[in-house]
Amino acid sequence: MPSLTRYLVTLGLVFAVLTVPVAVFNVRTDPFSVFSQLKAGPQPIQADTSTRMAKPYVMRVYHPDCLILGNSRAEVGYGAAELPGCQRPYNAAVANGHIYEARRHLQHALALGEVHQVLLALDLETFTSPELTAPGFSEPRLAVNAKGEAQLFPVGELVGLALGYDASQRSLKLRTQKPQLAAISANGDRNPESLQAIAVMNSSRDLEQRMNEQFDFIGKLLVTGPAFNLQDGRGAAAMAEYQKILALCAAHHVALRVVINPQHATLHDYLRHLGLQAAYLEWKHQLAATTAAAAATQDVQLWDFGRLNTLTTEKFELHQTGSVMTGYLEPSHFRTVIGNRALRQVYTGQSSGVDNFGERLTDASVGDDAGYVRSVAAWVAANPDADAAVARMAEKAQSQQN
Amino acid sequence: MLFHSYEFLLGFLPLAWGIFLLLKRQGLGRAAKCWLLLASLGFYGWWNPVFLLLILASIGGNYLFGRLLALDLPMRMLQLWTALFYNLGILGYFKYAGFLQQVFDQITGELHQPLAIILPLAISFYTFQQISYIVDTWRSREPEKDFVNYCLFIVFFPHLIAGPITHHSKIIPQFSNFYDRKLPLVDYAVGFSLLIIGLFKKVGIADNVGGYFVGTYDLLKHGTALSFYESWSVMTACALQIYFDYSGYADMAAGIGLLFGVRMPLNFFSPYKAISPAEFWRRWNITLMNFLRSYVYFPLGGSRYGRLRKYMASMSVMLVCGIWHGAGWNYIVWGALVGTILIINSLWDEFLRPKEVPPSTLRRRIGGRVLTYICYVIPLSIFMFPTLDIGWAMLRGMLGLNGFALPIHMLPRLGEFGVWLQGAGVTFAEAPASKGFLMMATLGAALAVLYLCPNTEQLFTAFNPTQNNIDKKLLTESVWRPTWQPTLKWAVVLAGMAAVSFMLMFQIREFFYFQF
């Protein structure tokens, strides 16, 4: 039946004619910065929304020996090059990264090569987030599954990136717009030039509005679901993830440094208004106790940069435009000028020269809760306008929860 | 592995089919069969290799029970029940033990650690198929002797994961086609075409309309009272998604089956075009309903022992159907609701319907279809939500108990008509579940496909794409009646649908928060 053969051939040919050019266009444009990594080794990631997609592929070709894990604050605020003794340091932190994702990315890197140094950057949101993974995370993308069993290379995802509607739409947009600065450098850090451009751009906007956007999101991570505690629910699950990270590092002889991020005073005030100050302190106690127990058998240290000091209380005017904060992009994200100072203190013992900035926590040294509460109260008294703005944001987060 | 994944369509299927064709062309029918068995086991094991042991134990046990039943030893009834308990025991443990534990805890007030049992893929399908095999072997004393044939009948990958539920007497004889060196090009042409149409139904229609139902559970859980308009919109999205998803899957299964020379049974025949609930359930998931009719309804007496017994049998069928779908009160209540509707339908037919069947007019057909649709969607609102509270919250909206307000965001778009509506007493309010005109247009387009287009059985009717015993008159029942032919036009249209489907198969979910 020649007509049947002709039908089948036509079907295949037309399908190929429609899909192959799309695939070629998308692979060449590489809107998610994935194909370029596989072709030429670690490359910058163009769009900040592609980091969760692209970083696991970078790790596949880069085989990092040192890692930074955490959320967007770690991605923005720490430089991978600051990790000492590393051949191929990589900042694998991703925006809104829950500690579960940190554990999965660590497993991924360990499956791909030797890792000997890990910096795990934490704040309360990495534990309170109601979802273990953020949109864009994909289990099959990683070299091993959650149980540590090897997984096949994610060919299906690459085909999707070549043929998919979303990829095509993004490619068209990229081809028709002006070239932008890459969001992420080849070592996983935020590109400093792009960050500076963003900081300047942000300075033209009302900072309270900017804070509102950030805190609105942070509020959802903090208060969505039942009241947070470490004994059950998501708190206990997150702490179990932390223990898994400790166990992984112990099993692979990885030197682990855990840091509590230098978050701005406004965020501490936000926790206070949300009624989470006690939970924050309990979280630190539990981290310290768990780490201290592990430190008896492995190379792990916990550092607290989350206290209030001259860096984390950087002043800003809510409605002022045109000025750029020096230590922060906005009150949620600290910059490398603070983050790298913290890393130098952790890794070289170099004093920061700033009082109350950076303290190694052991089980015994995490007792000054009253001092912490007093320092937040003092900041509130000295910054009534900022406190009032933070109170409004907290009220909004709680009303949304209700 | 899902049919609508690149791994399956560009990896597994070409490999499985290519090697199968090579072996078939060489006249190595037995090898082709063994290869297909191996590929099917690989397909199943892709998800979780551990459960290969379970399915193989189930298959091995049933094969031995079948052989035993043919030996004509004493106490055959005991052998039958042992075999049935073997199947139902496996199914019961994996699917219902957790639910039964919950019920037990609720009754006794005790609190046990919930059982962490993973539900093995396709367990309901392969268990039911083997129950039918065992019962038929007990009746006929003629088991399948070839173990490879029996294994392949159960694990043949096109029907393994989500049906259709195949009958051994209809599938196993077709395995002899593997020994024929000739390549049936017409089956391949129809098979690929069905596969493409099914794929498009799934990723092009079902996934799109289903997007409007996503989030409904969260809204209801947080106490949002959905209006009449919102409730019916989202439940229509849900009903359409389920149909296009499942019937799309059935089309893909039928198409893939044809590539291997096996005709699958028909599983859907435009159920929404039915003009009564009873007819709906004869067109919906046909193989499951046939199974329940043969192995539940008739053994319980069917219509042979009076009306009451018949209604009890009908109710039992739908309760089993509900429980088969899952372990939860929502499924049981759904089964009871549908069973009640079918009994009312039966009472109407017997006592109230005019003796002389009136001619089928457009008005009657539309009326019948609307009623049938309502009778399907109302129980669905219970079926779709894990707790009865949430189901009831949805039902309240559908019954108009939360008011009839239209979404406020529609008002500016309606212009003068909106003002007129307000003047006529129509109210407008916030409607979080409504996604505006795009939602209406998408649902409208999907409904148009549903009611105006022919189904795949009708489209390919000249080529017998499935095994069916559909009334010949029904095969021409469609407003628009194109029929598929292996022509250039169809090749271009279907290639376009395939290309669009391939583009839609991969949705990148991005995280848009971090944009400074």
Bond from prior residue into B407 cis (ω within 30 degrees of 0): no
Residue A122, strand partner residues: A260
pLDDT digits 0-9 by tens, A199-250: 787 777 777 777 888 888 888 888 887 778 888 788 899 999 999 999 999 9
User: How many CB atoms within 10 Å of residue B207?
Assistant: 18
CA distance B251 to B197: 7
CA distance B96 to B363: 45
Please identify which residue in the block is written with the tokens 């008739």.
B298
pLDDT digits 0-9 by tens, B152-161: 999 999 998 8
What is the per-residue pLDDT for B511? 47
Q: How confident is the model at residue A353 (pLDDT cuts 50, 70, 90)?
A: confident
A135/B499 touch (CB, cutoff 8 Å), yes or no: no
The alpha carbon of residue B474 and the mean position of all alpha carbons in its chain are separated, in whole angstroms, by: 21
- pLDDT(B411) > 90: no
- pLDDT(B105) > 90: no
B6 and A CB contact within 8 Å: yes
pLDDT digits 0-9 by tens, B347-357: 988 887 777 77
Please identify which residue in the block is written with the tokens 């950030």.
A214
- Work out the average pLDDT over A175-185: 86
Which residues have CB under 8 Å from B495's CB, separation 6+? Answer: A10, A11, A12, A13, A14, A15, A18, B196
What is the per-residue pLDDT for B513? 40
CA distance A332 to A262: 10
What is the per-residue pLDDT for B510? 47
A5 and B CB contact within 8 Å: yes
What is the per-residue pLDDT for B515? 34
Of A266, A391, A259, nearest in space to A328 by CA:
A266
CA distance A60 to A80: 17
B511/A3 touch (CB, cutoff 8 Å), yes or no: no
What is the per-residue pLDDT for B116? 77
Residue of A165, A209, A330 for testing the chain B interface, max B β-carbons within 10 Å: A165
CA distance B266 to B251: 9
pLDDT digits 0-9 by tens, B439-473: 899 999 999 999 999 999 999 988 989 988 777 77
- The C-alpha of A14 sits at a distance from chain B's nearest C-alpha, in angstroms, of 6
H or E segment to which residue B381 belongs:
helix B362-383
A159/B503 touch (CB, cutoff 8 Å), yes or no: no
Q: Collect all residues of chain A within an 8 Å Cβ-Cβ radius of residue B7.
A: 155-156
pLDDT digits 0-9 by tens, B293-302: 999 999 998 8
Give me the residues of A, 11-30, that contact B with CB < 8 A. 11-15, 18-19, 22
Size of interface A-B (CB pairs under 8 A): 125
Asked which of B83-87, B134-138, B417-421 is least confident by mean pLDDT, the reply is B417-421
Which residues have CB under 8 Å from B444's CB, separation 6+? Answer: none
Of A51, A53, A329, the CB nearest to B516: A329
- Work out the average pLDDT over B330-338: 95
Percent of chain A topping pLDDT 70: 97
Residue of A6, A8, A11 for testing the chain B interface, max B β-carbons within 10 Å: A11
- Work out the average pLDDT over A316-341: 84
Percent of chain B topping pLDDT 70: 98
pLDDT digits 0-9 by tens, A124-139: 999 988 888 888 898 9
A217/B513 touch (CB, cutoff 8 Å), yes or no: yes
Nearest CA in chain A to B488: A7
Q: Active site includes B409?
A: no
Q: Are B391 and B337 in contact (CB under 8 A)?
A: no
Instruction: Provide the greatest CA pair distance for chain B.
Output: 82
Give me the residues of A, 199-218, that contact B with CB < 8 A. 201-202, 217
A96/B490 touch (CB, cutoff 8 Å), yes or no: no
Strand A117-122 relative to strand A66-69, pairing:
parallel
Give me the residues of A, 241-300, that contact B with CB < 8 A. none
CA distance B143 to B66: 5
H or E segment to which residue B232 belongs:
helix B228-259
Asked which of A196-205, A303-312, A328-337, B213-222 is least confident by mean pLDDT, the reply is A196-205
- pLDDT(B281) > 80: yes
Q: H/E/C letters for each residue in chain A?
A: CHHHHHHHHHHHHHHHHHHHHHHHHHHHHCCCCCHHHHHHCCCCECCHHHHHHHHHHHHHHHCCCEEEECCHHHHHHCCHHHCCCCCCEEECCCCCCCHHHHHHHHHHHHHHCCCCEEEEEECCHHHHCCCCCCCCCCHHHCCECCCCCECCCCHHHHHHHHHCHHHHHHHHHHHHCCCCCCCECCCCCECHHHHHHHHHHHHCCCHHHHHHHHHHHHHHHHHCCCCCCCCCHHHHHHHHHHHHHHHHHHHCCCEEEEEECCCCHHHHHHHHHCCCHHHHHHHHHHHHHHHHHHHCCCCEEEEECCCCCCCCCCCCCCCCCCCCCCCEEECCEECHHHHHHHHHHHHHCCCCCCCCCCEEECCCCCCCHHHHHHHHHHHHHHCHHHHHHHHHHHHHHHHHHC
pLDDT digits 0-9 by tens, B2-59: 898 899 999 999 999 999 999 999 999 999 999 999 999 999 998 888 899 999 999 9
A166/B7 touch (CB, cutoff 8 Å), yes or no: no
Residues in chain B: 516
A5/B185 touch (CB, cutoff 8 Å), yes or no: yes
What is the per-residue pLDDT for A330? 84
CA distance A316 to A232: 38
Of A164, A397, A183, nearest in space to A273 by CA:
A397
CA distance B193 to A12: 11
User: How many CB atoms within 10 Å of residue B491?
Assistant: 23
Sign of CA dihedral B444, B447, B452, B458: positive
Asked which of A313-322, B17-26, B217-226 is least confident by mean pLDDT, the reply is A313-322
Of A126, A158, A353, A104, nearest in space to A259 by CA:
A126
Compute the C-alpha angle B213/B217/B220, nearest 5°: 120
Q: Are B332 and B373 in contact (CB under 8 A)?
A: no
Q: Collect all residues of chain B within an 8 Å Cβ-Cβ radius of residue A48.
A: 514-516
Of B113, B160, B174, nearest in space to B1 by CA:
B160
- Work out the average pLDDT over B113-140: 87
- pLDDT(B438) > 90: no
Amino acid (one-letter) located at B43 = F
pLDDT digits 0-9 by tens, B421-432: 888 878 887 878
H or E segment to which residue B406 belongs:
strand B406-407
- Work out the average pLDDT over A312-326: 79
User: How many CB atoms within 10 Å of residue B305?
Assistant: 12
**B447 SS3 class:** helix
Q: How confident is the model at residue A367 (pLDDT cuts 50, 70, 90)?
A: low
Give me the residues of A, 220-249, that contact B with CB < 8 A. none
Q: How confident is the model at residue B516 (pLDDT cuts 50, 70, 90)?
A: very low
Of A4, A32, A95, the CB nearest to B486: A4
**B195 SS3 class:** helix
What is the per-residue pLDDT for B435? 80
Task: Classify B77 in phi/psi space as left (phi over 0), alpha (psi -120 to 50) or beta.
Answer: alpha
pLDDT digits 0-9 by tens, A28-83: 999 999 999 998 889 999 887 788 999 999 999 999 999 999 999 999 999 999 99
What is the per-residue pLDDT for A277? 92
What is the per-residue pLDDT for B514? 36
B141 or A303, greater pLDDT: A303
Which residues have CB under 8 Å from B448's CB, separation 6+? Answer: none
Strand A333-334 relative to strand A359-361, pairing:
unpaired
Of B498, B505, B510, the CB nearest to A15: B498
User: How many CB atoms within 10 Å of residue B35?
Assistant: 18
What is the per-residue pLDDT for A402? 59
Give me the residues of B, 174-213, that contact A with CB < 8 A. 185-186, 188-189, 192-193
Q: Are A82 and A101 in contact (CB under 8 A)?
A: no
Of A386, A376, A49, nearest in space to A215 by CA:
A386
- The C-alpha of B139 sits at a distance from chain A's nearest C-alpha, in angstroms, of 44
Residue B467, strand partner residues: B265
Sign of CA dihedral A142, A147, A152, A155: negative
Give the dihedral of Cα atoms A37, A41, A44, A49; nearest 10 deg. 30
Residue of A98, A159, A324 for testing the chain B interface, max B β-carbons within 10 Å: A159
Long-range contacts from A370-377, C-beta under 8 angstroms, 24+ separation: A372/A281, A372/A307, A372/A308, A373/A277, A375/A307, A375/A308, A376/A265, A376/A268, A376/A269, A376/A272, A376/A277, A376/A308
Which residues have CB under 8 Å from A2's CB, separation 6+? Answer: none
Q: pTM, whole model, 2 decimals?
A: 0.86
Residues in chain A: 402
A168 and B CB contact within 8 Å: yes
- pLDDT(A87) > 70: yes
Mean pLDDT of chain B: 89
Rg (CA), chain B: 25
Q: Are A38 and A66 in contact (CB under 8 A)?
A: no
Mean pLDDT of chain A: 89
Which residues have CB under 8 Å from B353's CB, separation 6+? Answer: none
- pLDDT(B138) > 50: yes
A6 and B CB contact within 8 Å: yes
